[in-house]
Structure 1
């Protein structure tokens, strides 16, 4: 059923966050920090693997790199556009609104928790390819896999960051729902180049989320999100 995977994903995020809130006080701060670093490093490798899978190909019996120009154009143009329209600021305002209207006005961690968790579960190859695979091919396996990953990730980051992480289910559901609708719309027209560029740019962003999490960086990853749209347009240009 189209949409089932995203609904299951939302339930997994809420369940993982709820479990994290339940067991949080029983785990030391040192353990929490180490788990956060470990999750960040895992995301770095997941993102790097996605990028390398799209850029490295065998040609004439040897491994060659492709797509460097595509990646540079999509990420630079997309990041510029994201900064111009200030996606990060809009996400922060959404977090502020949710904090005020969900009984968490005094929770200083709420906004950062919401933004960080939203970025982790809403971007990357699985967040894009999962809904597309479900809508185009009727295959929910990628979204089921993503649900398991998100359950564990949100459980871990909720322990030090609080209940704001649970609300990441909202933007994730909206984004993946829109991607599902897009997949239904161009079901017969989605070329391999389009899908490749989506995975390529999304994987770079999940790599950056891992850097933020593991090394306490402040990369405005949400402002890179237009790179996915640029990648789709770039693939449609007859070079």
Structure 2
């Protein structure tokens, strides 16, 4: 958990610094900065998504994951949590919910969050999460300077999300082959593209409700022997 703890602190500290700098940045600068962030996030997402080695797994995971996410209403719950924080903060802090939801998704669905947390849980190697901490700390300054104090609270979401992956990694170790991790990272990259679309206001995409898709390659790996058996039987019949 050490890597996740460092990551959490880096986001919180960077976010607080960004909030302090926020008042000194003119509004038109903030708009341009957010557009630049959106484009950068888009490139990061595309780089991750193109690493997929099995597009069928990605499609299956996105479709089934979206159904699960819509059923349990992840996006609604995140929004409600952000609005609850906003209500506790009171007026004068801007859209706390928007900053919280946007930053939480950016920091949670990337390849480094997934792979780093798995490495931390399986081998005790925190180097990937340390590198992510540096990147997240710097980006949180920029995010918070434009989106406000909600970015600081996204640190809690990162702690819970990465912490759960780290703790449970050992239980599914035998399923976490390289191909599975590759597809999990690719799906994370695709969701980051969706976040970029939201930031750039191109098209509102319910990225939060697609979050379960990230973990479905594990289910696919678990069912693969059964699927191969069914395919073999069908081939013999026809």
SS in 1 for 2:200: helix
Cα gap change, 1:201 to 1:30, in 2 (>3 Å):
same
Q: CA deviation at 1:167?
A: 0.3
Range that drifts further, 185-194 or 163-172: 185-194
Cα gap change, 1:232 to 1:188, in 2 (>3 Å):
closer
What is the TM-score normalised by the length of structure 1?
0.87
Q: CA deviation at 1:192?
A: 2.0
Q: 2:175 touches 2:222 (CA, 8 Å); kept in 1?
A: no
2:4 alignment partner in structure 1:
6
1:113 alignment partner in structure 2:
99
Bigger helix share: 2
Q: CA deviation at 1:14?
A: 0.9
What is the TM-score normalised by the length of structure 2?
0.88
2:15 alignment partner in structure 1:
17
Cα gap change, 1:221 to 1:183, in 2 (>3 Å):
same
Q: 2:110 touches 2:188 (CA, 8 Å); kept in 1?
A: yes
1:49-64 correspondence runs (5 A): 49-55=47-53
How many pairs are equivalent?
225
Q: CA deviation at 1:107?
A: 4.1
Of 57, 74, 89 in structure 2, the residue corresponding to residue 70 of structure 1 is 57
Cα gap change, 1:28 to 1:216, in 2 (>3 Å):
farther
Task: Name structure 1 gaps, 5 residues minimum.
Answer: 56-66
Q: CA RMSD in A?
A: 1.7
1:15-164 correspondence runs (5 A): 15-55=13-53, 67-101=54-88, 103-104=89-90, 107-164=93-150
1:64 alignment partner in structure 2:
none
CA distance in 1 between partners of 2:199 and 2:121 (Å): 31
CA distance in 2 between partners of 1:137 and 1:214 (Å): 38
SS in 1 for 2:205: coil
Range that drifts further, 23-32 or 5-14: 23-32
SS in 1 for 2:114: helix
The reply to whether residue 233 of structure 1 matches residue 223 of structure 2 is no
Q: CA deviation at 1:81?
A: 1.6
Q: 1:201 touches 1:231 (CA, 8 Å); kept in 2?
A: no
1:63 alignment partner in structure 2:
none
CA distance in 1 between partners of 2:93 and 2:183 (Å): 39
SS in 1 for 2:50: helix
* 1:142-170 deviation per Cα after TM superposition (whole angstroms, max 9, x unaligned): 11121122112221121122111100011
* 1:118-177 deviation per Cα after TM superposition (whole angstroms, max 9, x unaligned): 111111211111110111132212111211221122211211221111000111100000
Q: CA deviation at 1:105?
A: 5.7
Task: Name structure 2 gaps, 5 residues minimum.
Answer: 229-238
Q: CA deviation at 1:35?
A: 1.7
SS in 2 for 1:54: coil
